Chain A
């Protein structure tokens, strides 16, 4: 955690960091500063190419694409972050418990995670859509349910590695209580690996949410979610490229930026290169 800023980074990494920060700011505040109402229909002004008035053009119902993109960032990225935050907390709680307690509980939880991993997220999402109705919430629930085992297994593995280090044995010899071991020994040392996984998963979850929305299981069409925007613009893709290209590029660039950051963190925080400096 300490000296991230001291690592040399290339132009690509700086660009990715800049983009990621810009996108996050847009996700948090962009919805309030849209030039037009993202849902305002104007059939007379439909499918206008990018111009001074509509920077990124308008879609098949005459809605301003830039406004929809900015509002959509909130939907897409905030729901991604919600999914990640929830699976991180649940997964780590299960994984760390599993590693500390061991024995039958460990076996039970890990077999449960294995079985869970066997469910394809798409089928789960269809199930949730059937139960809750097709909506962004259904997609979020589906992703939470299919993603937590990844973090449970990862955090269990890291915790087991940390528990086998002599410094933890030293803590045991000292009588350090379990909660203190989790807070001061396990979590700080697991942080690197987890943050890398989170960064890489941001793009994966975002693609999944957009993908689910695109096929109609997630956010529904008038909503400016990026995947749903592409789905809504499909009919005009041939004549009005911006309707699908703009949200498509947004998804692509965001996923790429977080992937680059994830790869960079993986390189820089790799314990084999950092240790015994």
Chain B
């Protein structure tokens, strides 16, 4: 059987992040199917799935890391959260908005909120768990990712990480350093 590839995920380099929150705007817009001016003029209360956080001097957006052994999926009482084709997905039809996933997420990356188009009533508020879906709906015909936050970042701080090639690069770089150190000491 072919080994399953690890999930891609979004990572932001805090050394490059300016805290401008453009990724938040882009994320909210990307999940709403309209442009910024229209959304604001119509007073749509869009919800980004990432949040820019500041801790001491450091600032960066936090979003779902598409965990391989996702606590949210394990905790979900209705089985609405599951792994599929490299994504941690939420089946909103099964979600009851109980917030267990939000409580167990180590990154606070799950937001329980209603969709702008879902009108609640006295029986339900229609809140569902939502999180970064790597802009699944924007994946193009050629199967390429097109993450709104990555594209919106003015300092290129945000990247979509392919864990395998990231690790390979790391290994190569450290390997090169080790080789250089070794050559120096033997020379």
Same complex for A and B? Answer no
Q: Which residues of A contact B (CB under 8 A)?
A: none
Q: Which residues of B contact A (CB under 8 A)?
A: none
